[in-house]
Amino acid sequence: MADLKSLNELGQSIWYDNIRRALLESGEFEKMFKSGVTGVTSNPSIFEKAIAGSSDYDQMLDPLLAAGLPVKKIYETLAIEDIQRTADLLRTIYSDTDGKDGFVSIEVSPELANDTDGTIAEARRLYAEVDRPNVMIKVPVTRAGIPAIETLIGEGINVNVTLIFAMASYEEAAEAYIKGLEAFDRRGGDLRCVSSVASFFVSRVDTAVDRALDEKGAESLQGKIAVANAKVAYARFKEIFSGERWEVLAEKGAWVQRPLWASTSTKNPAYADTLYVDSLIGPDTVNTVPPATLEAFIDHGTIARTLEHDVEAAEAEIQQLSDLGIDLSDITDELLREGVDAFAKSFRTMLASIEGKRRDAHEG
């Protein structure tokens, strides 16, 4: 059995990549937080499953539907209440870590992924409506998302930078965070009160790269590139958050923008079901795990500092991809587009489900 609190002692936070009303009503979240889970992430796909795929919200939907509210407003009413209640449960962790941990995330509409001004406006509104210091607003690392991230951090709004696949995107996200902190500092803001994570989506990289490797007949690299990409990114994280420029901010209480490993369920049954947890343990990181992966890790995961092992080998594996004529940047660019589209589809499906419940109520 893996003890999550031992993992916390190595400097890694485990967050739960799932949210639904039943977890709040049953007390399951409280049990998790006592056992070493220290945060929660959500996304449009998670809320689609929670709201459209369960009966958890049916009783609460009735008065909202009867009031004739727009479907997006109904969704936000339900989601924000879940986020607020989760933030309240995590508030002790947030306080005990002086604001480093204990966050819950909610995402701006994925349909705003290519709209900087729209993203900023919605992020401001969500942050104000949730009204909790330990909420993070998720913003995708698109061309439009990067300036939005800088602006929001500059206003003291916590940001979970999401859908990172590529090193170049990560570096842009880190720069936006640092610039935002510098702007917030110039405005007299307390740097201890703003935080961010940079969410790398891991397993999807292997899924895409493995297909390309299969076409090249280079099976020896399959199942290795996602972890290698994360290890190289972590080495870059340590370089970025050091040196004179960063130390000026750190001395004023700024937190590093922790790398967060997302999409950590193993898609290929040939790989270990805890691959993307066991292999990515290191200080100042977060791993947000879906339910089945958390259960598997607690049951038979291995707790050890693995993230900094064999970084040179990881770099060599990525170089081998290039030598084979496989462009990792092209793959990660496509993964970002697919990720934005998938979340937008889930968002629309969820709204359509709420509208369908309204029609059913009228017909009934």
Backbone phi, psi, residue 43, to 5° = -155, 175
First to last CA, the chain: 50
Neighbouring residues of 269: CB distance < 8 A, sequence distance ≥ 6: none
Q: Is 138 a catalytic residue?
A: yes
Nearest to 185 by CA among 253, 260, 267, 96: 253
Q: Which of 100, 138, 216, 231 is catalytic?
A: 138
Residue 18, Cβ density class (10 Å: 0-12 exposed, 13-18 middle, ≥19 buried): buried
349/44 Cα distance (integer angstroms)? 10
Element (DSSP H or E) covering residue 248: helix 243-250
Residue with tokens 């990409």: 229
State how far the Cα of 286 lies from the Cα of 209, in Å rounded to an integer: 24
Q: Three-class SS string for 81-147?
A: HHHHHHHHHHHHHHHHCCCCCCCEEEECCHHHCCCHHHHHHHHHHHHHHHCCCCEEEEEECCCCHHH
Cα separation, 318 vs 316, in Å, equals 5
The tokens of 27 are what?
A: 């007390």
Query: From the CB of residue 361, how many other CB atoms can be counted at a distance below 10 Å?
Result: 12
Indicate which residues carry an active-site annotation: 138
